[in-house]
Amino acid sequence: MEFIDYYKILGIDKSANEADIKKAYRKMARKFHPDVNPNDKQAEVKFKEVNEANEVLSNTENRKKYDKYGKDWKHADQYDQQSRQQNYGGGGYQQQNPFGQSNQGSGDFSDFFGSMFGGGSRRSNQSKFKGQDFNAELQLNLSEVYKTDKRTLTVNGKNIRLTIPAGVTDGQEIKIKGYGSDGVNGGPKGDLNIKFKITNDTLFVRDGKNLYKNI
């Protein structure tokens, strides 16, 4: 997965505080907003990157994970757990502190990751993690859901041909396997979760599979 520098996207440095992040986000969001750049695909991509950067950096915990693990920040909890197991799990392995320094020598931060994911000499075991799931919302009118329909969605730059079964309900979710982000160390891809948002554009009231109207 290509590394995306969220700080660079927002035009700030790593010492930026919460107010700096908010100010930078508003500025960049206005610059690349679809209403300001109609039919501009490049601006649309930039707008998504700006929103993604803000979601990560404006959240204190996510920002800490991103600063520590970079593009793999979403798997930080799994990495930390793997680190704790390696440091304190015994099993004949040398104990290491979080910076790769063992009781019998010294190393660097890359040594720690190498040993944790199979690149080092201390432990030849690669940990595979499933990629992050993507979540999307699809808005439909009530008049559109009375029959099975096909739609093409664009998610993360990929066109997905989707069959929408007749009678889907508001808030219903479906999962499409393998359309999330790439896995780590050859792990499986994440999934795409689509949530339906149904707007009633009729004079009827829906109750399950039935439609009612007072005459």
pLDDT tens, residue by residue, 24-71: 999 998 898 888 888 888 888 888 889 888 988 988 888 888 888 777
What span, in angstroms and rounded, lies between the C-alpha atoms of 182 and 128? 11
Q: Are 66 and 6 in contact (CB under 8 A)?
A: yes
pTM of the predicted model, to two decimals?
A: 0.42
pLDDT in tens, 65-101: 888 877 777 777 776 666 666 555 544 444 444 434 3
Count CA atoms within 13 Å of residue 198 on its CB side.
19
pLDDT at 117 over 70: no
pLDDT at 119: 47
Q: Of the candidates 192, 195, 184, which has an alpha carbon nearest to the alpha carbon of residue 155?
A: 192
